[in-house]
Amino acid sequence: MTDHKFPYKWHLKNGYPAKDINYHGSKVFGTFVCGGGSTMGYKLAGFKHIGGVEIDEKIATVYKENHNPNYFFTEDIRLFNKREDLPSDLYNLDLLDGSPPCSSFSMAGNRDKDWGKKKKFKEGQKMQRLDDLVFEYIKTIKKLQPKVAILENVKGLIQGNAKAYTKKIFQEFRAAGYRVQLFLLNAASMGVPQKRERVFFIGLRNDFKLPKLELSFNEKPILFGEIEDVTDLNEVKNKDTRTYKGWTLSKSGQTFADGINDGGSMFGYTKVNRNDVVKTVVSSDGTYEWHDKLFRKLNNLELLQVGSYPLDYNFKDVKPKYLIGMSVPPVMTAQISNQIYLQWLKHIK
């Protein structure tokens, strides 16, 4: 863990920024902030995070409990964009961040079958289109005119038929007055114990003539064995294990195959290996370890480290797995934003 620039195992009580990182106070505001994964990343990297927008009231309560933001808007980004009463602090920010809901572009979902349609999704339990939220966010960029803007999303946004969206994103960034770069990054190379690939569109406002941003991370992979915690194994063994013994590993050994004694299927549920990095953790159940002829869900201590969330984060009554699966890992954001400060914002300031 000492070989990594930002800690994946840490506590809020120790404060920000991370060790050996200087506080510079560059102002950042977030949209689609969820539980605050990115927010914590910016703070670890020495930024001053002043608030955000989040549609889900329950998640917003968790965010405010842990971050005490200066400005917070519990509403749809579309309503936020129509506001004419925003504080002056939100204009000409150093950085604006946004991670629009990505289920419409996930390779595991319906993808183009859902494009253009309204659907009900968990955040806010509201009927709305999801595939146009990336462009609603670019409207926010155009409205607030930050020096730097980041749009994060799933890898599926740049694959297959979704490439048309990628081209339009570039067009809309340029129309808003930004020179934009596209990065596909893997959290596993950035000091996060998780193989989480994410796409980042990073735009610099046209009036700043600076070299292109260079992002390259090659930190040592953190294997699951380094964070494995089987203190709950006896508890698992003592339960009614029919639901455990009823499943077998698939031939590939990477997923769980159909049950022997039970109906249903566990196909696609991810198996973790002590000698490998954990694959992408999602908000629904799906990450297990095969241990002592039983499979067990990763416990909260393991999940917090896999997601590089602080061990003392107050999730209130929200399941940690949900927020961690929905969030950009704080350390991933810290790595990116630290480079943005060093290569761009430091020189602008």
Residues with catalytic roles: 102
Single-letter code of the amino acid located at 341: Y
**What b/e string do you get for 27-45 counting C-beta neighbours within 10 Å, with b at 16 or more?**
bbbbbbbbbbbbbbbbbbb
80 contacts 53 by C-beta, under 8 angstroms: yes
Query: What's the alpha-carbon Rg for the chain, to the nearest Å?
Result: 20
**What is the rounded CA–CA span in Å between residue 303 and residue 228?**
10
143 contacts 81 by C-beta, under 8 angstroms: yes
CA end-to-end distance (rounded Å), the chain: 32
Could you tell me which residues come within 8 angstroms of residue 269 by beta carbon, excluding any fewer than 6 positions away? 255, 256, 285, 286, 287, 288
Q: C-alpha distances in angstroms, 311 versus 5, 13, 19, 42, 136?
A: 18, 10, 17, 18, 34
Q: Would you give the DSSP letter of residue 90?
A: G
The SS3 assignment for 82 reads helix
**What is the rounded CA–CA span in Å between residue 27 and residue 46?**
10
Q: 16 — phi, psi (to 5°)?
A: -120, 160
Element of type H or E holding 39: helix 37-44
**What is the rounded CA–CA span in Å between residue 320 and residue 92?**
34
Q: Give the CB-side neighbour count of residue 176, counting CA atoms within 13 A.
A: 27
